[in-house]
Amino acid sequence: MKNTIKSRLDGLEQQLNNQKSGPTMIVIDVVNASEEGPHEVVPVGYTCDIKGKRHYFPGDSEQAGAAVRALMAQEPREPGKVRPIPILMACLEAPAG
């Protein structure tokens, strides 16, 4: 998994270097970004798919876990799969300030 995240980050860096204009923020959905080490990406929230609908829960795993459990209690027939969603911000130019 570490190589996958590193490869995606390298690819995004190259894409940003080649891009002349456009968005300055990129949202990356990584299925499991919870590994540790030099390429660790810290999740800022989690998603849970229940009955074809994706629910987003901001916060750490404890907060998100409580929200997912509460939601799943309302939908007991189909448990959701929780995935961390790390948010990375990439700026083409250094922010002023």
Residue-wise pLDDT for 41-79, tens only, equals 556 666 666 666 777 777 666 666 676 667 666 655 555
The whole-angstrom separation of Cα 18 and Cα 12 is 10
Residue identified by tokens 């980050």 is 9
| pLDDT value at residue 88 | 43
The conformation of residue 89, written as its DSSP 8-state character, comes to: -
pLDDT of residue 40: 56
Query: What's the pLDDT score for residue 16?
Result: 61
Could you tell me the pLDDT band of residue 20, with boundaries at 50, 70 and 90? Answer: low
Question: How is the chain split into domains, by residue range?
Answer: 2-88
pLDDT at 71: 64
Q: With beta carbons less than 8 A apart as the criterion, state whether 43 and 25 touch.
A: no
Tell me, what's the pLDDT at 25? Answer: 44
